[in-house]
Amino acid sequence: MFKKFLTLLSGFCIPLFILAQGHTTISANTPRIVIGIVIEDFNPDYIERYWEKFGDGGFQRLYSKGYICANHHYDNLLQRPSVNMATLSTGTTPSRHGIVNDFWIDRLKKKEVNAVNDDTYTTVGSDSKEGERSAMKLMSPTLGDQLKLITKGKSRVFSIALNDISAVFAAGHAADGAYWFDSSSGKMISSSYFVGTFPKWAFDYNGLKMADSYFRLNWTPFKEQISYTESISDLYLKETGYLGKYNTFPFDMSKLKRESGGSYKILKTTPWGNTIVKDFAIQMIPKERLGYDLIPDLLTVVFSSMDYERYSFGPFSAEMQDTYLRLDKDIAELLKYLEDGYGTDNILVYLTGLTSISYPAEYLKEKYRMTAGIFNPESSIALLKSYLNIKYGDGNWIELFTNQQIYLDHELIEKQKVNLLEIQVTVASFLNQFEGIAYAKAAKEIEADNFPGGLLEPFQNNYHIKRSGDVLIKYEDGWQPKDKFSPVDYTDNTQVPLVWFGNGITKGTTLRRTNATDIVPTIAAFLGIAPPSSVTGKVIDELIKH
């Protein structure tokens, strides 16, 4: 199977495929193709921590030859892939682009809505429902949308990811294609929102059944495990492992699939999920003729770091290290393909994180005596409900609590003639008494105040009047929420890596604080186009002038 796959790829890997177009350069300042390499759960520590174990063609090449923004952040209250990918691709905050969480309550429709789910559209590439997605709820244009508008549709815009939400918001509204991994079939799929007819090259890739091939392997360490001295020992991480029982190498992939119900989802937690994304990108580039003319194209490739299983092993585990060592190899192969095909001066690459990741609270507390801890949302909300019943009478006052947001039942509040601002402030004041909560802010207070540059600015950045909750919460530094029976997907780390490479980029570093919203206007400056009018970020001048 792998021999067949390499044969198929060899037809795509002709280094000088651009020469067939009769020209080898665009201009001194305009790249033919912009490639975003985006990694979920990318802690800045990983680069230095694993540096000696990386090869010279991936992370080391980018950091040794590129321009590093060493103090780069997402200034959103919620550090979620949905929120941050929308921010990264639009160059503005949730207060404008509207993606305040993975889901929220639509007050007009009186129901919960998912950020990307949309049954108006159908799956393209498989028979599942995992392609019923769209970017309709994204309220601001993306860089790709702007490119489409300015070039009258001639620029080609694509995204590839393991997860639907990353692919959808990376692509935006007007993209030519967004592709992601279908956990039910093991195929790469899309939505009819983006793709009318599934392309033959994608059918050919799915026909190789690469996901099935990986399930016939064991996941063993990429290097000798004894050399993984950069990882934190299992003693401190208290790993639960796959299915609560498999927490050491090697991992029998076929056994894990069988015992987890036959789903392909578990593949997303292994390095091979990233390899599938890389291989699919290398298949796409020549078949969709990206960068083949003078009009710049855009491709965003999103890798995931152990996906949801990072909580079963820990962000600084041997399994996470192995994932990054193998991801380094995948990135090296993608970079080599791009540089061989276009020449370094004809590409603009940026590498960044979609989210960061925090050290486990128990580890910080036990090992280093830091003021960290575990916050139990379930018990806190139960106490809050009892308090509201005493103060306002019996009723289901809290409609939803999710990811640092509390939605109150507005119909009940109106029916009982309770002042909305009063109950919002009451809830916030009650929660502010809990150890582990730094701030709880009422929505009406966020609407009325302005917090530029301060500790409360992330509240304003993440607040949208039509979609956000009635009370927003920020946990104390080092504190992490944890439900009784399951881990909570949460990080308080806003910092992620950012490095630029390629067209006109010379080696350098800035320590000035930069923001994820700055990437879109900076790329627009490289391309010589105006950014979308909704952009709130600023051009990274040091990069342009360097």
Of 481, 510, 532, the residue that ends a domain is 481
Confidence of residue 235 (pLDDT cuts 50, 70, 90): low
**Domain harbouring 473, CATH code:** 3.30.1360.150
- Report whether pLDDT(431) > 50: yes
8-state DSSP, 435: T
Of 457, 481, 505, the residue that ends a domain is 481
**Domain harbouring 240, CATH code:** 3.40.720.10
Q: Which of 175, 171, 198 is nearest to 187 (CA)?
A: 198
343 and 389 together in one domain: no
Which range has the worst mean pLDDT, 36-40, 306-310, 484-488? 484-488
Backbone angles phi, psi at 435, to 5 degrees: -65, 135
Q: Of the ranges 160-164, 368-372, 484-488, which is most confident?
A: 160-164
> What's the average model confidence in pLDDT over 527-543?
95
> What's the average model confidence in pLDDT over 129-149?
98
Confidence of residue 488 (pLDDT cuts 50, 70, 90): confident
Residue 137 to residues 98, 133, 167, 169, 474: CA-CA distances in angstroms? 7, 10, 14, 10, 25
Of 449, 481, 513, the residue that ends a domain is 481
Q: Tell me what percent of the residues of the chain surpass a pLDDT of 90.
A: 84
The percent helix, strand, coil of the chain (3-state, each to 5) is 40, 20, 45
238 and 377 together in one domain: no
Give the domain extent around 50: 2-357+496-545
Other CB atoms within 10 A of residue 492 CB: 17
Note the pLDDT of residue 511.
97
145 and 286 together in one domain: yes
Cα distance between residue 301 and residue 500, in whole Å: 15
534 falls within a domain: yes
| H helix or E strand, kind and range, residue 90 | helix 81-90
434 falls within a domain: yes
39 and 126 together in one domain: yes
Q: Of the ranges 23-32, 198-207, 243-252, 536-545, which is most confident?
A: 198-207
87 and 177 together in one domain: yes
350 and 382 together in one domain: no
* Cβ contact 36:175 at 8 Å: no
Note the pLDDT of residue 279.
98
237 falls within a domain: yes
Confidence of residue 546 (pLDDT cuts 50, 70, 90): low
Q: Which pair of structure tokens corresponds to residue 293?
A: 């003319």
324 falls within a domain: yes
Question: How many folded domains does the chain comprise?
Answer: 2
238 and 324 together in one domain: yes
Cα distance between residue 511 and residue 71, in whole Å: 6
323 falls within a domain: yes
Per-residue pLDDT of 290-311, as tens digits, reads: 999 999 999 999 999 998 888 8
Cα distance between residue 499 and residue 160, in whole Å: 20
Q: Which of 75, 81, 70 is nearest to 40 (CA)?
A: 81
Report the predicted TM-score, pTM, of the whole model to 2 decimal places.
Answer: 0.93
405 falls within a domain: yes
- Report whether pLDDT(13) > 50: no
489 falls within a domain: no
Cα distance between residue 232 and residue 60, in whole Å: 23
Antiparallel, parallel or unpaired: β 251-252 and 33-39: unpaired
212 and 93 together in one domain: yes
Q: What is the DSSP string of 436-447?
A: TEEEEEEHHHHH
Cα distance between residue 344 and residue 335, in whole Å: 9
> What's the average model confidence in pLDDT over 413-437?
97
348 and 383 together in one domain: no
362 falls within a domain: no
472 and 508 together in one domain: no
Note the pLDDT of residue 448.
84
45 and 93 together in one domain: yes
- Report whether pLDDT(29) > 80: no
231 and 190 together in one domain: yes
